[in-house]
Structure 1
Amino acid sequence: MIFSKKMDKLTSAIFSQLSDKKNKLIAEGAQVIDFSIGTPDIPPAPHVIETIVKESSKIENYIYSINDTDELLSSVQKWYGKRYGVNLEKDEIVSLLGSQSGFAELALALVNPGDIVLTPDPGYPIFTVGPYLAGAKIVKIPLLKENNYLINFNAIDEETAKKAKLMVLSYPNNPTAATAPHDFYVKLVAFAKKYNIIILHDNAYSELVFDDTEGGSFLSIPGAKDIAVEFNSLSKTYSIPGCRIAFAVGNKEIINQLKTLKSHVDYGMFLPFQKAAISALEGPQDYVQLVKNTYRERRDLLVNGLNKIGWPIDNTGGSMFVWAAIPPKYKSSLEFTFDLMEKTGVIVVPGSSFGEYGEGFVRFALVQNKEKIAKAIQNIELSGILEI
C-alpha cells in the first residue's frame, strides 16, 4: 500500500518510546512517576458529572447535534463577558470537538498550499501539524529564554511577515509555561494589522495563571477581533479533557469559514456534553480556584524542591507545566530523559520533541499529587544524576 507522503512527517516516536520504556520498568518491578502527558488527575466538579449522567440518560439527546444550541452560545457569551470583559455575538462563536481538531480544521479553512504560517518553537505540535496538513510553508519563530519566551516581532524577517497568512501562538504557553503581559498583545495586534496576518491565539490555560496575576483574553485588546480568533478549552480549567469541549471565538468571517468546514467533517458536539459545558460555565466557579490552587501548590513543591537539591529551575508563570533546563553535563534532552527514567523512575518529555529550540530542556506536567512529587524529588536527589 502507498500512503500519503504527509504521514511521513507525522511520526512522532517519543511518546511511544516513553511508554515502552515505562512498561519495561514496571515489568521489572520499578515504581515510576509519570510527568509526561498533561492529562488532569483532578476530578471534575460534581455538578458537571451529574449533568453528564442526567443528560446521557435521555434518549432524545442521541441525535446529530449539527448546530450549537442557543443555550450553549448564550453561556459562552455570558462567560466571556463576565470573565474577560469581551462582548461576543453568537455568530462569533463555534464549538470545537477539542482544540486539537480545531487547529487542523481552522488551517484547512484559511490556508492555501504554499501560504506562510508562523508558528512558535518550541511549541505544541498541533500548532505546526494543522498548517502542515493544509500545505502551508511553516516558518518557526524562536521562543527564547532571554526574551521570557515571548515572540520578538522585530526579529521576524520583513519579507516573511509580508507574505505570512497566519500566526499561531499561545500564552500561557505549552511547553514553556510562560505568560504574556498586556503590552505584548498590543504589539501583536499592531504587527498583525501592519502585515495583514490572521492571528490564532490558543487560550487553553487562561485560568491557570499564578502569583497574583490574572489571566485574560487576547480579544480584550482593542482591534484584536478584527484580525483574530481565540481558542478556549474546558479540558484543563474544569478537568474534563475526555469530553473534548472547546470553542473558537472572535472574527465572525473566520468563524463562518470554520463553521462551513465543520459542517462537512463533523456533526457537532454530543448534546449531553453541550449541557455539561453550560453547567461548567454557569455553575459555581469556586471549582476553578481549586484547580488553580492545586497546580500552583504542585508547581511550588516541584520547583522549590528541585532547586533545593541542586537542579536550578525558573518559576512557572502559568499553565500546568514546568519547563526545566537539563543538567549541563548532558548535551541532549532525549539522553537525559531516558537516563532520568532509568535511574529515578521519573518520566518527563524531552524539549526537543517540541521543536529545535526546545533542545536543552524537559517538560514536567503537574499531574501527580504532592506525595508523588516529593517522592520524585527524593529519587532524583538520591540517584546522583545531578552530580557534575
Structure 2
Amino acid sequence: MIQPAERTKSLGASVFTEMARHKKKAASKGKDMIDLSVGSPDLPPPSGVRSILSEETLEKDNYGYALQGLEAFNEAASGYCSERFNISLDSSEVLQLLGSQDGLSHLALAYLNPEDYIIIPDPGYPIYSACADLAGAYTYPVSLNEENQFMPDITAVPSHVLERTKILIMNYPGNPASARATKDYFEKVVALALEHSILIVHDFAYAELDFTEDKPLSIFHIDGAKETALEFHSLSKSFNMAGARIGFVTGREDLLKPLADIKSNIDYGVFYPVQKAAIHALTYEQPFLSTQKQTFRNRRDVFCQSLHEKGWHVTIPDGGMFVWAKLPPSYTSMGFALKALEAGVVVTPGHAFGLEGEGYVRIALVQEEERLKEAANRLASIIF
C-alpha cells in the first residue's frame, strides 16, 4: 500500500471541515442552522471593489500568469499602512500573498529546518502549528489565558528552546481570543527577538476590527522591530474579500526574500482582476472600514448582551469577529459544540486551537443581529 508522507499524519481534516460535515447532516433533516463556526465575513466587499473586479474580468489581457504582485499593489499597500497605522514602508517592503494563510504556511518552509523551533500561541490559529509540521520543525506553545491577559511571558521560555527558535508568532487583535497587546509587551518581545536572532511574525489580520478608541498597535511601532519582524495583513477581514484570496506581508526586503523565493517556485501570483480590485480597496475604500468596524461592534454588543441576560457571562472582546466563550466545568469543548449543533447553532470547539482552548468555544459574529440574538437564546438554553 502506498503511504503518504509522515508530515501529513499530524494534519488530518481541519475541525472546520468536521463541523461543516455535522452541520450538513443536521440541515439535511430540515433543521434551521445558524453557522457561527468559520470567520468568513457574511457581508459583501464594497461596491467599488466588486465593480472593478467585474470590469477587469472582461479584459482579455488579464488572464496570463501574474507571477508577482503589481507595483501598484505594493504602493497601495504601503500607502494604506501609512494612512491607517502611521507606518512608513517602501513598496519593496511589501510582498503580496494568496491570502495571509498562504504566507504563514510557506514562511515556515522558507525559514525552518528540521529540529528548529517555532514559538506559537496556545490557543492560536491552527496554521501556526500546521506550518511547523509541514516544515518538519518543532512547536513550542506558550499559554495565553485570562491570568496573563493573553500576553504570555516569552522570557520564561527555556533557554535551550530559545537557542533553537527561528520564528515566534503573535496575533493581536487575536483569534480565537480577541485580546489586544500593549506597547510595553511588544517592546519586551522585540528585545528578546533581537537578543536571540528570532523572526517575529505578527499576524495582524484583525487590525481593522479593533473596538477600542486607540489605534491598532503594529509591531513596527516598536523601535528595532524592522530588524527582526514581519507583519501579515489580510483583505479577507478588512474588506470582506475572503474568497478572493489576497493579502500581503510587510517588513524588510531581505527578510521577505526567502518567502518570495519559496512562492516563486510554488504559485504564479494572484489573478490580475483581484489585484486591481484590492488596489482600489486599499486606496479608496477606507471609509468602508469604519462602517465595517461599527457593524461588528454592534453585533458583539447584541450577542454578548443576549448571553449575559440569560446568565452566561462571557468576556466581551475588544476586537476581532469572535467571542471566546468559557464553558461551565461540566462541558468539554466538543461536547458543547455537539449540543449546540442539536440546538441549531454551529460553533468551533476550543480544543481545535490548542490545549489551552479546552473548556472554550469560539463563536464567530458572522450573522445579522437578529440571528445572533436567536443563536444566543439557543446556546444559553443548553446551559440554563
TM-score relative to the length of structure 1: 0.96
Cα distance in 1 for residues equivalent to 2:258 and 2:16: 33
Q: CA deviation at 1:260?
A: 1.3
User: Are 1:375 and 2:374 matched, yes or no?
Assistant: yes
Q: Aligned residue for 1:136?
A: 137
Question: Counterpart of 2:337 in structure 1: which amino acid?
Answer: T
Cα distance in 1 for residues equivalent to 2:137 and 2:22: 35
Deviations 1:104-146 (A, max 9, x none): 2111111111111111111101011112211111111111211
For residue 200 of structure 1, give the secondary structure of its aligned residue in structure 2.
Answer: strand
Cα distance in 2 for residues equivalent to 1:185 and 1:165: 18
Deviations 1:142-186 (A, max 9, x none): 112111111212322222122211111111111111111121111
Question: Counterpart of 1:243 in structure 2: which amino acid?
Answer: A
The answer as to whether partners of 1:311 and 1:327 remain within 8 angstroms in 2 is no
For residue 2 of structure 1, give the secondary structure of its aligned residue in structure 2.
Answer: coil
After superposition, residues 170-319 of structure 1 pair within 5 angstroms as: 170-319=171-320
For residue 338 of structure 1, give the secondary structure of its aligned residue in structure 2.
Answer: helix
Question: Segments of 4+ in structure 1 off by > 3 A?
Answer: none
Q: Aligned residue for 1:353?
A: 352
Cα distance in 1 for residues equivalent to 2:370 and 2:190: 44
Cα distance in 2 for residues equivalent to 1:92 and 1:149: 29
User: Are 1:5 and 2:2 matched, yes or no?
Assistant: no
Cα distance in 1 for residues equivalent to 2:118 and 2:346: 33
TM-score relative to the length of structure 2: 0.97
TM-aligned CA distance change 1:83 to 1:16, over 3 Å: closer
Q: CA deviation at 1:9?
A: 0.8
The answer as to whether partners of 2:7 and 2:136 remain within 8 angstroms in 1 is no
Question: Counterpart of 1:333 in structure 2: which amino acid?
Answer: S
Cα distance in 2 for residues equivalent to 1:301 and 1:155: 39
Cα distance in 1 for residues equivalent to 2:10 and 2:235: 30
TM-aligned CA distance change 1:68 to 1:17, over 3 Å: closer
Unaligned runs of 5+ in 1: none
Aligned residues: 383
Q: CA deviation at 1:15?
A: 2.7
Q: RMSD over aligned Cα, in angstroms?
A: 1.3
For residue 272 of structure 1, give the secondary structure of its aligned residue in structure 2.
Answer: helix
Q: CA deviation at 1:214?
A: 2.1
TM-aligned CA distance change 1:333 to 1:45, over 3 Å: same
Identity across aligned pairs (percent)? 38
For residue 235 of structure 1, give the secondary structure of its aligned residue in structure 2.
Answer: helix
For residue 298 of structure 2, give the secondary structure of its aligned residue in structure 1.
Answer: helix
Q: Aligned residue for 1:323?
A: 324
Q: CA deviation at 1:319?
A: 0.8
Q: Aligned residue for 2:115?
A: 114
Question: Counterpart of 2:358 in structure 1: which amino acid?
Answer: E
Cα distance in 2 for residues equivalent to 1:155 and 1:345: 43
Q: CA deviation at 1:323?
A: 0.2
After superposition, residues 152-167 of structure 1 pair within 5 angstroms as: 152-167=153-168
Cα distance in 2 for residues equivalent to 1:114 and 1:213: 40
The answer as to whether partners of 1:91 and 1:255 remain within 8 angstroms in 2 is no
Deviations 1:306-340 (A, max 9, x none): 1110111111011111100012322x111111112
Cα distance in 2 for residues equivalent to 1:20 and 1:257: 37
TM-aligned CA distance change 1:60 to 1:190, over 3 Å: same
Deviations 1:72-105 (A, max 9, x none): 1111121111221211122211100011111121
Q: CA deviation at 1:280?
A: 0.3
Q: CA deviation at 1:69?
A: 1.6
Cα distance in 1 for residues equivalent to 2:287 and 2:87: 21
Question: Counterpart of 1:364 in structure 2: which amino acid?
Answer: I
Q: Aligned residue for 1:364?
A: 363
Question: Counterpart of 1:79 in structure 2: which amino acid?
Answer: Y
Cα distance in 1 for residues equivalent to 2:155 and 2:69: 41
User: Are 1:35 and 2:36 matched, yes or no?
Assistant: yes
The answer as to whether partners of 1:105 and 1:130 remain within 8 angstroms in 2 is yes
Question: Counterpart of 1:105 in structure 2: which amino acid?
Answer: H
The answer as to whether partners of 1:42 and 1:291 remain within 8 angstroms in 2 is no
User: Are 1:66 and 2:67 matched, yes or no?
Assistant: yes
Question: Counterpart of 2:223 in structure 1: which amino acid?
Answer: P
Cα distance in 1 for residues equivalent to 2:67 and 2:14: 36
Q: CA deviation at 1:273?
A: 1.2
